[in-house]
């Protein structure tokens, strides 16, 4: 009621915020567990299967089995033409044997599988160290990659007290000195710029006039956008619209420039929030309360001895508002709506005494990552050696049994023609 047009939608003036909660620390935040999970994981889908280390390891083991079978067949049928190449291959496999301590060529053949796992482990370690910090992570995740960040997160509300070395205090100074610009998009109104003014309400004085920096009409011709520079973060600002001009709703936007000083980074402020009441225009004397909270992110260094990095931004919370006169109209009559000589919007900006500190530190640093990756490589060698030993202990009796049966069958086939020839001569 009392609106001048019905064509404006909420999608034309969306609300958005640049401040979000820090992510929770992953359930698996141990580098050894992550390394084992990513190396010995087999993808569930076909597209993910061909990118997993175990797929390529099993493929190499299959090729090694084919080579082993070819070597056995060459020895069995005594192919003199390729026997020289077989001996050369045996010497090569013995030279690269890293699984068994003896000079068995089969160990060198299986060493190719361990080399594949080594390559994937080094690839994972190189990419995982790039996952810190979260904001500048250069790790490109694929559709099959579920590796978490190389970061541990925690947060807490604290009082703005300086730490002993004073490294945290500059970011608070940068936050306090950041200038704010407020923009109001007055939706569904016919008010002109000459009818709109801003003032700062202060105790002991009538008011202080605040000059508008911009006043433009949006392309929809029923939205007036006005901006004003806020002289302080804690301030009471009043918007006055003189004349019988109604406002269907408004979007409050706050902007502020960013700044970088050494290891401290101040993020620019950019947020908007839309306010309206269903089926009602803005109240004759509407009020809105905005509370600012400092958000300081502390990033611990990846290299021991370096300084921590601090970056801060503002978060805005809309505590309470009174934007509708619906109950007044129900009590005193709807005609009062159209007898308004002036519309007032009072916005109170305040700041909480505490701040939110988000801490980020690496799960593993470079030296520790190199050491644990080396331990994993030695573990892979031991696993292959143990597997080879178990298979050898299990298969050796069967091979011996097959060999005995083979020799017995050869002896029987040799004796049978001899016996037949003796009978013939007899």
Q: Which two tokens stand for residue 413?
A: 């086939």
pLDDT per residue as tens digits for the range 208-236 = 999 999 999 998 888 999 999 999 999 99
Query: Which of 244-248, 320-324, 350-354, 355-359 shows the lowest per-residue confidence on average (mean pLDDT)?
Result: 320-324
| Cα distance between residue 46 and residue 412, in whole Å | 52
The owner of tokens 């496999």 is: 93
pLDDT per residue as tens digits for the range 38-97 = 888 776 667 777 778 888 888 888 888 888 788 777 777 777 677 777 777 777 777 767
Global pTM? 0.75
| Cα distance between residue 399 and residue 410, in whole Å | 16
Bridge partners of 286, per DSSP, are: 345
- Is the backbone peptide bond immediately before 133 cis, with ω within 30 degrees of 0? yes
* 315 contacts 266 by C-beta, under 8 angstroms: no
| Cα distance between residue 245 and residue 242, in whole Å | 7
DSSP string, 351-377: EEEEEEEEEEE-SS-HHHHHHHHHHHH
Structure confidence at residue 200 as a pLDDT band (50, 70, 90) = very high
Residue 143 has what pLDDT?
47
Residues 6+ apart with CB under 8 A from 183: 214, 225, 226, 227, 252, 253, 254, 255
Cβ-in-10-Å burial (0-12, 13-18, 19+) of 12 comes to middle
Q: Which two tokens stand for residue 80?
A: 């003199």
Structural domain spans, the chain? 10-22+156-361, 31-150+365-418
**Phi, psi for 312 (deg, rounded to 5):** -130, 155
Q: Which two tokens stand for residue 323?
A: 């934007």
What do you get for the CA distance between the two ends of the chain, in Å? 130
Residues 6+ apart with CB under 8 A from 413: none
* 83 contacts 74 by C-beta, under 8 angstroms: yes
Query: Which of 99-108, 167-176, 350-359, 361-370 shows the lowest per-residue confidence on average (mean pLDDT)?
Result: 99-108
Residue 5 has what pLDDT?
72
Residue 21 has what pLDDT?
81
SS3 call for 37: helix
| Cα distance between residue 263 and residue 62, in whole Å | 53
* 281 contacts 338 by C-beta, under 8 angstroms: no
**Phi, psi for 400 (deg, rounded to 5):** -65, -40
| Cα distance between residue 129 and residue 52, in whole Å | 19
Q: For residue 414, is pLDDT > 70?
A: no
* 250 contacts 185 by C-beta, under 8 angstroms: yes
Structure confidence at residue 140 as a pLDDT band (50, 70, 90) = very low
Q: Calculate the average pLDDT of the chain.
A: 82
Query: Which of 48-52, 140-144, 161-165 shows the lowest per-residue confidence on average (mean pLDDT)?
Result: 140-144
Query: Which of 19-33, 269-283, 342-356 shows the lowest per-residue confidence on average (mean pLDDT)?
Result: 19-33
* 280 contacts 248 by C-beta, under 8 angstroms: no
pLDDT per residue as tens digits for the range 89-108 = 777 777 767 666 666 677 77
């Amino acid at each position: 009621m009392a609106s001048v047009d019905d064509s404006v939608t909420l999608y034309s003036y969306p609300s958005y915020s640049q401040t979000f909660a820090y992510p929770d620390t992953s359930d698996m935040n141990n580098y050894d567990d992550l390394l084992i999970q990513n190396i010995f994981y087999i993808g569930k889908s076909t597209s993910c299967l061909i990118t997993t280390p175990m797929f390529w390891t099993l493929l190499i083991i299959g090729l090694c089995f084919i080579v082993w079978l070819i070597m056995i067949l060459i020895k069995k049928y005594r192919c003199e033409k390729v026997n020289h190449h077989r001996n050369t291959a045996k010497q090569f496999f013995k030279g690269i044997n890293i699984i068994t301590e003896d000079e068995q060529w089969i160990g060198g053949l299986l060493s190719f599988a361990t080399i594949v796992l080594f390559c994937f482990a080094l690839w994972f370690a190189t990419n995982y160290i790039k996952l810190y910090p979260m904001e500048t992570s250069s790790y490109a995740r694929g559709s099959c990659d579920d590796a978490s960040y190389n970061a541990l997160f925690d947060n807490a509300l604290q009082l703005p007290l300086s730490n002993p070395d004073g490294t945290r205090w500059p970011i608070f100074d940068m936050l306090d000195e950041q200038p704010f610009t407020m923009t109001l998009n007055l939706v569904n109104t016919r008010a002109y710029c000459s009818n709109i003014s801003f003032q700062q309400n202060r105790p002991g004085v009538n008011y202080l006039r605040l000059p508008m920096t911009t006043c433009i009409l949006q392309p929809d011709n029923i939205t007036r956008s006005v901006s004003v520079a806020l002289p302080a973060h804690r301030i009471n600002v009043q918007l006055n619209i003189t004349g019988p001009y109604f406002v269907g709703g408004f979007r409050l936007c706050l902007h502020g420039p960013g700044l970088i000083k050494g290891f401290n980074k101040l993020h620019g402020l950019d947020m908007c929030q839309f306010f309206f009441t269903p089926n009602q225009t803005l109240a004759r004397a509407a009020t809105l309360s905005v509370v600012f909270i400092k958000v300081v992110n502390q990033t611990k260094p990846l290299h021991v001895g370096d300084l921590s990095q601090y970056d801060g931004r503002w978060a805005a919370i809309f505590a309470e508002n009174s934007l509708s006169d619906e109950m007044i109209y129900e009590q005193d009559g709807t005609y009062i709506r159209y007898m308004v000589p002036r519309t007032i919007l009072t916005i109170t900006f305040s700041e909480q005494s505490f701040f939110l500190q988000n801490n980020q530190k690496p799960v593993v640093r470079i030296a520790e990552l190199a050491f644990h990756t080396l331990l994993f490589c030695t573990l892979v060698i031991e696993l292959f050696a143990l597997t080879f030993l178990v298979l050898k202990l299990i298969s050796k009796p069967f091979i011996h049994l097959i060999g005995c049966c083979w020799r017995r069958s050869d002896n029987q086939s040799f004796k049978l023609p001899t016996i037949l020839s003796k009978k013939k001569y007899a």
